Structure 1
Amino acid sequence: MVIFEVVNNPQVSRDAETGISRGCGFVTMRSLAEARTAINALDGFDLDGREMFVKLAAHVVASRRNPSLSHTPPMKDHIFESRYKIYVGNLAWSVQPQHLREHFTQCGTVVSTRLLTDRKGGRSRVYGFLSFSSAEELEAALQLNNTEFHGRDIIVREAHVKSPDTLSQTLES
Protein backbone atom coordinates (compact mmCIF):
# COMPACT_ATOMS: atom_id res chain seq x y z
CA MET A 1 0.00 0.00 0.00
CA VAL A 2 1.21 3.53 -0.79
CA ILE A 3 1.73 5.81 2.21
CA PHE A 4 1.32 9.56 1.67
CA GLU A 5 3.12 11.89 4.03
CA VAL A 6 1.71 15.00 2.33
CA VAL A 7 -1.91 14.65 3.48
CA ASN A 8 -3.13 17.80 5.22
CA ASN A 9 -6.45 18.41 6.94
CA PRO A 10 -8.38 15.13 6.42
CA GLN A 11 -12.13 15.55 6.93
CA VAL A 12 -14.73 12.80 7.08
CA SER A 13 -18.23 13.81 6.02
CA ARG A 14 -20.71 12.85 8.75
CA ASP A 15 -24.47 12.93 9.15
CA ALA A 16 -25.30 16.05 11.23
CA GLU A 17 -27.89 14.24 13.38
CA THR A 18 -26.25 10.87 14.01
CA GLY A 19 -22.56 11.64 13.54
CA ILE A 20 -22.19 8.50 11.42
CA SER A 21 -19.80 8.69 8.48
CA ARG A 22 -21.40 9.23 5.09
CA GLY A 23 -18.66 7.13 3.52
CA CYS A 24 -16.77 10.02 1.98
CA GLY A 25 -14.34 12.71 2.95
CA PHE A 26 -11.96 15.41 1.79
CA VAL A 27 -8.20 15.52 2.00
CA THR A 28 -6.00 18.52 1.27
CA MET A 29 -2.78 17.65 -0.52
CA ARG A 30 0.34 19.81 -0.77
CA SER A 31 0.38 19.99 -4.58
CA LEU A 32 -1.54 19.03 -7.70
CA ALA A 33 1.16 16.52 -8.64
CA GLU A 34 0.86 14.77 -5.27
CA ALA A 35 -2.92 14.74 -5.56
CA ARG A 36 -2.71 13.10 -8.98
CA THR A 37 -0.30 10.51 -7.57
CA ALA A 38 -2.79 9.76 -4.80
CA ILE A 39 -5.64 9.50 -7.31
CA ASN A 40 -3.65 7.08 -9.50
CA ALA A 41 -2.67 4.97 -6.49
CA LEU A 42 -5.99 4.89 -4.64
CA ASP A 43 -8.82 5.22 -7.16
CA GLY A 44 -10.44 1.80 -7.32
CA PHE A 45 -8.49 0.54 -4.27
CA ASP A 46 -10.32 -2.03 -2.13
CA LEU A 47 -10.56 -0.83 1.48
CA ASP A 48 -12.16 -3.37 3.81
CA GLY A 49 -14.30 -4.76 1.01
CA ARG A 50 -15.37 -1.38 -0.39
CA GLU A 51 -14.02 0.18 -3.56
CA MET A 52 -12.70 3.72 -3.11
CA PHE A 53 -13.49 6.41 -5.69
CA VAL A 54 -10.87 9.16 -5.57
CA LYS A 55 -11.40 12.38 -7.51
CA LEU A 56 -10.49 16.06 -7.36
CA ALA A 57 -12.94 17.88 -5.10
CA ALA A 58 -13.73 20.47 -7.78
CA HIS A 59 -15.04 17.64 -10.02
CA VAL A 60 -17.14 16.03 -7.29
CA VAL A 61 -18.75 19.20 -5.95
CA ALA A 62 -19.66 20.41 -9.43
CA SER A 63 -21.61 17.22 -10.07
CA ARG A 64 -23.27 17.04 -6.64
CA ARG A 65 -27.05 16.77 -7.04
CA ASN A 66 -28.13 18.33 -3.77
CA PRO A 67 -25.39 20.33 -2.05
CA SER A 68 -27.70 21.21 0.85
CA LEU A 69 -27.48 17.60 2.07
CA SER A 70 -23.83 17.99 2.98
CA HIS A 71 -22.70 19.53 6.25
CA THR A 72 -19.99 21.39 4.36
CA PRO A 73 -20.86 24.39 2.20
CA PRO A 74 -20.58 23.97 -1.59
CA MET A 75 -17.11 24.78 -2.80
CA LYS A 76 -16.45 27.78 -4.99
CA ASP A 77 -14.42 27.51 -8.15
CA HIS A 78 -10.93 26.57 -7.09
CA ILE A 79 -7.83 27.77 -8.81
CA PHE A 80 -4.87 25.51 -8.29
CA GLU A 81 -1.68 27.49 -8.35
CA SER A 82 1.93 26.42 -8.44
CA ARG A 83 4.70 28.15 -6.54
CA TYR A 84 5.98 29.64 -9.84
CA LYS A 85 3.61 32.58 -9.87
CA ILE A 86 3.62 36.03 -11.47
CA TYR A 87 1.67 39.24 -11.01
CA VAL A 88 0.55 40.96 -14.24
CA GLY A 89 -0.57 44.57 -13.97
CA ASN A 90 -1.63 47.52 -16.12
CA LEU A 91 -4.05 45.34 -18.08
CA ALA A 92 -6.70 46.75 -20.38
CA TRP A 93 -10.28 46.60 -19.07
CA SER A 94 -11.21 44.27 -21.94
CA VAL A 95 -8.69 41.55 -21.03
CA GLN A 96 -10.20 38.19 -20.08
CA PRO A 97 -8.44 35.27 -18.31
CA GLN A 98 -8.24 33.29 -21.57
CA HIS A 99 -6.41 36.23 -23.21
CA LEU A 100 -3.76 36.14 -20.48
CA ARG A 101 -3.44 32.36 -20.76
CA GLU A 102 -3.05 32.50 -24.53
CA HIS A 103 -0.45 35.27 -24.34
CA PHE A 104 1.68 33.59 -21.68
CA THR A 105 1.64 30.07 -23.16
CA GLN A 106 4.61 31.24 -25.23
CA CYS A 107 6.57 31.00 -21.94
CA GLY A 108 5.50 27.44 -21.14
CA THR A 109 2.73 25.58 -19.35
CA VAL A 110 0.29 27.93 -17.65
CA VAL A 111 -1.07 26.08 -14.60
CA SER A 112 -3.58 28.75 -13.60
CA THR A 113 -4.83 32.17 -14.62
CA ARG A 114 -6.70 34.45 -12.25
CA LEU A 115 -7.97 37.89 -13.18
CA LEU A 116 -9.28 39.75 -10.16
CA THR A 117 -12.74 41.30 -10.24
CA ASP A 118 -14.51 43.90 -8.17
CA ARG A 119 -16.83 42.05 -5.78
CA LYS A 120 -19.59 44.64 -5.93
CA GLY A 121 -19.78 45.34 -9.63
CA GLY A 122 -18.18 42.19 -11.00
CA ARG A 123 -16.03 44.41 -13.19
CA SER A 124 -12.53 43.24 -14.07
CA ARG A 125 -9.68 44.88 -12.23
CA VAL A 126 -6.56 45.72 -14.15
CA TYR A 127 -4.32 43.01 -12.74
CA GLY A 128 -4.13 39.26 -12.35
CA PHE A 129 -1.95 36.30 -11.48
CA LEU A 130 -0.62 33.36 -13.48
CA SER A 131 1.32 30.33 -12.31
CA PHE A 132 3.61 28.08 -14.29
CA SER A 133 4.88 24.53 -13.91
CA SER A 134 8.59 25.38 -13.60
CA ALA A 135 11.07 28.06 -12.57
CA GLU A 136 12.32 28.31 -16.16
CA GLU A 137 8.82 29.13 -17.42
CA LEU A 138 8.43 31.75 -14.69
CA GLU A 139 11.73 33.35 -15.76
CA ALA A 140 10.56 33.40 -19.39
CA ALA A 141 7.31 35.10 -18.33
CA LEU A 142 9.22 37.77 -16.41
CA GLN A 143 10.90 38.72 -19.71
CA LEU A 144 7.51 40.02 -20.93
CA ASN A 145 7.65 42.93 -18.48
CA ASN A 146 7.00 46.29 -20.23
CA THR A 147 5.82 44.61 -23.44
CA GLU A 148 2.64 45.60 -25.27
CA PHE A 149 -0.50 43.52 -24.62
CA HIS A 150 -3.96 44.67 -25.75
CA GLY A 151 -2.68 48.19 -26.34
CA ARG A 152 -0.96 48.64 -22.95
CA ASP A 153 2.54 48.07 -21.61
CA ILE A 154 2.03 45.36 -19.00
CA ILE A 155 3.89 45.04 -15.73
CA VAL A 156 5.12 41.52 -14.94
CA ARG A 157 6.60 40.74 -11.52
CA GLU A 158 7.20 37.59 -9.54
CA ALA A 159 4.40 37.07 -7.02
CA HIS A 160 5.33 35.99 -3.53
CA VAL A 161 3.55 32.85 -2.43
CA LYS A 162 2.40 33.11 1.19
CA SER A 163 1.77 29.42 1.88
CA PRO A 164 2.52 26.00 0.34
CA ASP A 165 0.36 24.82 -2.55
CA THR A 166 -2.80 23.11 -1.41
CA LEU A 167 -5.27 21.06 -3.28
CA SER A 168 -8.48 19.55 -2.01
CA GLN A 169 -9.20 16.04 -3.04
CA THR A 170 -12.06 13.82 -2.06
CA LEU A 171 -12.01 10.20 -0.97
CA GLU A 172 -15.28 8.39 -1.39
CA SER A 173 -15.44 4.88 -0.03
Structure 2
Amino acid sequence: MKMIHDRGRQEYEKAVQEIAVEESSEQTQEVTQKSKVHVVNLPWSFSVADIKNVFGECGSVKSVEIVKQKNGRNRGFAFITMASEEEASAVVEKFDSYELSGRIIRVAFAKRLKKPSPTDPPVGETRHKLFVSNLAWKVRSSHLREFFSTSSNPVSTRVVFDSPSGRSVGYGFVSFATKEEAEAAISALNGKELLDRPVRLKFSEKNAIESVSEPEEADKAEGQPEEP
Protein backbone atom coordinates (compact mmCIF):
# COMPACT_ATOMS: atom_id res chain seq x y z
CA MET A 1 0.00 0.00 0.00
CA LYS A 2 2.88 2.35 0.78
CA MET A 3 4.29 1.81 -2.71
CA ILE A 4 0.95 2.75 -4.24
CA HIS A 5 0.76 5.85 -2.07
CA ASP A 6 4.30 6.98 -2.91
CA ARG A 7 3.74 6.52 -6.62
CA GLY A 8 0.47 8.40 -6.42
CA ARG A 9 2.07 11.25 -4.51
CA GLN A 10 4.81 11.55 -7.12
CA GLU A 11 2.20 11.73 -9.86
CA TYR A 12 0.29 14.36 -7.90
CA GLU A 13 3.35 16.55 -7.27
CA LYS A 14 4.19 16.41 -10.97
CA ALA A 15 0.68 17.26 -12.06
CA VAL A 16 0.14 20.25 -9.77
CA GLN A 17 3.01 21.98 -11.55
CA GLU A 18 1.04 21.71 -14.78
CA ILE A 19 -2.23 23.07 -13.42
CA ALA A 20 -2.77 26.82 -13.22
CA VAL A 21 -5.69 27.73 -10.99
CA GLU A 22 -6.61 31.43 -11.17
CA GLU A 23 -8.74 32.93 -8.42
CA SER A 24 -10.26 36.40 -8.28
CA SER A 25 -8.76 37.31 -4.88
CA GLU A 26 -6.55 36.00 -2.07
CA GLN A 27 -9.62 35.48 0.11
CA THR A 28 -11.31 33.41 -2.60
CA GLN A 29 -8.18 31.29 -2.92
CA GLU A 30 -8.21 30.42 0.77
CA VAL A 31 -11.90 29.45 0.79
CA THR A 32 -11.55 27.37 -2.37
CA GLN A 33 -8.56 25.42 -1.09
CA LYS A 34 -10.14 24.70 2.29
CA SER A 35 -13.02 23.00 0.52
CA LYS A 36 -10.89 21.29 -2.14
CA VAL A 37 -9.29 17.85 -1.92
CA HIS A 38 -7.09 15.83 -4.23
CA VAL A 39 -7.69 12.13 -4.78
CA VAL A 40 -4.86 9.83 -5.87
CA ASN A 41 -4.99 6.35 -7.45
CA LEU A 42 -8.52 6.59 -8.83
CA PRO A 43 -9.69 3.85 -11.24
CA TRP A 44 -8.71 4.86 -14.79
CA SER A 45 -12.27 4.38 -16.01
CA PHE A 46 -13.83 6.85 -13.56
CA SER A 47 -15.65 9.81 -15.08
CA VAL A 48 -16.75 13.10 -13.52
CA ALA A 49 -20.19 11.60 -12.97
CA ASP A 50 -18.70 8.56 -11.21
CA ILE A 51 -16.64 10.77 -8.90
CA LYS A 52 -19.62 12.97 -8.04
CA ASN A 53 -21.70 9.89 -7.31
CA VAL A 54 -19.12 8.43 -4.89
CA PHE A 55 -18.01 11.56 -3.07
CA GLY A 56 -21.49 13.04 -3.05
CA GLU A 57 -22.14 10.78 -0.07
CA CYS A 58 -20.35 13.42 2.03
CA GLY A 59 -22.20 16.46 0.71
CA SER A 60 -22.52 18.61 -2.39
CA VAL A 61 -19.76 18.22 -4.99
CA LYS A 62 -19.31 21.66 -6.56
CA SER A 63 -16.74 20.72 -9.19
CA VAL A 64 -14.46 17.89 -10.32
CA GLU A 65 -11.22 18.29 -12.25
CA ILE A 66 -9.77 15.03 -13.54
CA VAL A 67 -6.08 15.40 -14.36
CA LYS A 68 -5.26 13.93 -17.75
CA GLN A 69 -2.22 13.26 -19.88
CA LYS A 70 -1.58 15.21 -23.06
CA ASN A 71 -3.20 12.42 -25.06
CA GLY A 72 -6.38 12.79 -23.01
CA ARG A 73 -5.94 9.65 -20.95
CA ASN A 74 -7.00 9.71 -17.31
CA ARG A 75 -3.96 9.95 -15.01
CA GLY A 76 -5.77 8.43 -12.05
CA PHE A 77 -6.27 11.42 -9.81
CA ALA A 78 -8.47 14.45 -9.53
CA PHE A 79 -9.27 17.64 -7.64
CA ILE A 80 -12.69 17.78 -6.01
CA THR A 81 -14.27 20.93 -4.59
CA MET A 82 -16.99 20.45 -2.01
CA ALA A 83 -19.59 23.01 -0.92
CA SER A 84 -17.91 23.61 2.45
CA GLU A 85 -14.80 22.93 4.49
CA GLU A 86 -16.80 20.56 6.70
CA GLU A 87 -17.87 18.46 3.72
CA ALA A 88 -14.29 18.36 2.43
CA SER A 89 -13.13 17.17 5.86
CA ALA A 90 -15.76 14.44 5.76
CA VAL A 91 -14.47 13.31 2.36
CA VAL A 92 -10.89 13.07 3.66
CA GLU A 93 -11.96 11.22 6.79
CA LYS A 94 -14.16 8.71 4.99
CA PHE A 95 -12.29 8.05 1.76
CA ASP A 96 -8.58 8.29 2.57
CA SER A 97 -7.17 4.73 2.20
CA TYR A 98 -10.59 3.61 0.92
CA GLU A 99 -10.80 0.70 -1.52
CA LEU A 100 -12.58 1.71 -4.70
CA SER A 101 -13.02 -0.78 -7.54
CA GLY A 102 -10.04 -2.75 -6.32
CA ARG A 103 -7.76 0.29 -5.86
CA ILE A 104 -6.72 1.94 -2.60
CA ILE A 105 -7.31 5.66 -3.09
CA ARG A 106 -5.64 8.41 -1.06
CA VAL A 107 -7.40 11.66 -0.24
CA ALA A 108 -6.00 14.87 1.27
CA PHE A 109 -6.68 18.58 1.23
CA ALA A 110 -5.36 20.25 -1.92
CA LYS A 111 -2.36 22.51 -1.47
CA ARG A 112 -2.72 26.13 -2.47
CA LEU A 113 -0.06 26.88 -5.06
CA LYS A 114 2.05 29.84 -4.05
CA LYS A 115 2.36 32.35 -6.86
CA PRO A 116 5.85 33.82 -7.26
CA SER A 117 6.26 37.32 -5.92
CA PRO A 118 6.74 39.92 -8.68
CA THR A 119 9.89 41.03 -6.83
CA ASP A 120 11.53 37.60 -6.78
CA PRO A 121 14.04 36.89 -9.59
CA PRO A 122 14.11 33.45 -11.24
CA VAL A 123 15.98 30.80 -9.26
CA GLY A 124 19.75 31.20 -9.59
CA GLU A 125 19.55 34.72 -11.02
CA THR A 126 20.07 38.07 -9.34
CA ARG A 127 18.60 41.52 -9.83
CA HIS A 128 21.81 42.64 -11.50
CA LYS A 129 21.08 40.86 -14.76
CA LEU A 130 22.14 41.61 -18.32
CA PHE A 131 20.13 40.87 -21.43
CA VAL A 132 22.50 39.38 -24.02
CA SER A 133 21.29 39.48 -27.64
CA ASN A 134 22.59 38.66 -31.12
CA LEU A 135 23.89 35.29 -29.97
CA ALA A 136 24.96 32.67 -32.50
CA TRP A 137 22.65 29.65 -32.64
CA LYS A 138 25.40 27.39 -31.32
CA VAL A 139 25.98 29.42 -28.15
CA ARG A 140 25.13 27.62 -24.92
CA SER A 141 25.21 28.71 -21.28
CA SER A 142 28.73 27.31 -20.92
CA HIS A 143 29.90 29.56 -23.76
CA LEU A 144 28.39 32.60 -22.05
CA ARG A 145 30.05 31.75 -18.75
CA GLU A 146 33.44 31.31 -20.39
CA PHE A 147 32.99 34.52 -22.39
CA PHE A 148 32.07 36.67 -19.38
CA SER A 149 34.58 35.03 -17.05
CA THR A 150 37.43 36.58 -19.02
CA SER A 151 36.69 39.96 -17.42
CA SER A 152 34.18 39.32 -14.61
CA ASN A 153 32.67 36.72 -12.30
CA PRO A 154 29.10 35.93 -13.41
CA VAL A 155 26.74 34.34 -10.88
CA SER A 156 24.67 32.59 -13.54
CA THR A 157 24.39 32.37 -17.32
CA ARG A 158 21.42 31.21 -19.36
CA VAL A 159 20.59 30.88 -23.04
CA VAL A 160 16.86 30.89 -23.87
CA PHE A 161 15.45 28.15 -26.08
CA ASP A 162 12.22 27.83 -28.01
CA SER A 163 10.02 25.24 -26.28
CA PRO A 164 8.51 23.49 -29.33
CA SER A 165 11.70 23.21 -31.39
CA GLY A 166 14.33 23.16 -28.65
CA ARG A 167 16.46 25.63 -30.62
CA SER A 168 18.15 28.73 -29.29
CA VAL A 169 16.20 31.94 -29.85
CA GLY A 170 19.40 33.98 -30.05
CA TYR A 171 19.49 35.67 -26.67
CA GLY A 172 20.12 34.96 -23.00
CA PHE A 173 20.76 36.39 -19.55
CA VAL A 174 23.83 36.80 -17.37
CA SER A 175 23.58 37.69 -13.67
CA PHE A 176 26.13 39.33 -11.38
CA ALA A 177 26.45 39.79 -7.64
CA THR A 178 26.58 43.59 -7.88
CA LYS A 179 25.46 46.33 -10.22
CA GLU A 180 29.07 47.49 -10.56
CA GLU A 181 30.17 44.10 -11.90
CA ALA A 182 27.35 44.13 -14.44
CA GLU A 183 28.29 47.64 -15.58
CA ALA A 184 31.93 46.60 -15.91
CA ALA A 185 30.92 43.63 -18.06
CA ILE A 186 28.99 45.91 -20.42
CA SER A 187 31.97 48.25 -20.72
CA ALA A 188 34.40 45.41 -21.39
CA LEU A 189 32.37 43.06 -23.58
CA ASN A 190 29.58 44.91 -25.39
CA GLY A 191 30.22 44.44 -29.12
CA LYS A 192 32.86 41.76 -28.59
CA GLU A 193 32.53 38.63 -30.72
CA LEU A 194 31.34 35.29 -29.37
CA LEU A 195 31.49 32.47 -31.93
CA ASP A 196 32.00 35.07 -34.67
CA ARG A 197 29.04 37.28 -33.71
CA PRO A 198 29.26 40.60 -31.82
CA VAL A 199 27.08 40.34 -28.71
CA ARG A 200 24.89 43.21 -27.54
CA LEU A 201 24.55 43.83 -23.82
CA LYS A 202 22.18 45.90 -21.74
CA PHE A 203 20.56 45.69 -18.34
CA SER A 204 17.52 43.46 -18.27
CA GLU A 205 14.52 45.79 -18.01
CA LYS A 206 12.38 43.38 -15.98
CA ASN A 207 14.42 40.99 -13.89
CA ALA A 208 11.65 39.58 -11.76
CA ILE A 209 9.47 37.38 -13.93
CA GLU A 210 10.94 35.51 -16.87
CA SER A 211 7.63 35.06 -18.66
CA VAL A 212 7.15 38.84 -18.70
CA SER A 213 10.64 40.09 -19.35
CA GLU A 214 11.86 37.77 -22.07
CA PRO A 215 9.23 38.35 -24.78
CA GLU A 216 9.31 42.13 -24.34
CA GLU A 217 13.08 42.34 -24.40
CA ALA A 218 13.31 39.94 -27.32
CA ASP A 219 10.98 42.16 -29.33
CA LYS A 220 13.28 45.11 -28.72
CA ALA A 221 16.50 43.23 -29.50
CA GLU A 222 18.00 44.03 -32.87
CA GLY A 223 20.18 41.97 -35.14
CA GLN A 224 19.07 38.52 -34.03
CA PRO A 225 20.79 35.78 -36.07
CA GLU A 226 18.92 34.47 -39.06
CA GLU A 227 17.94 30.83 -39.12
CA PRO A 228 20.52 28.65 -40.82
The structure number with the bigger radius of gyration is 2
TM-score by length of 1: 0.50
Greater strand share, structure number? 1
TM-score by length of 2: 0.39
Structure showing greater relative contact order (alpha-carbon pairs closer than 8 Å, 6 or more residues apart): 1
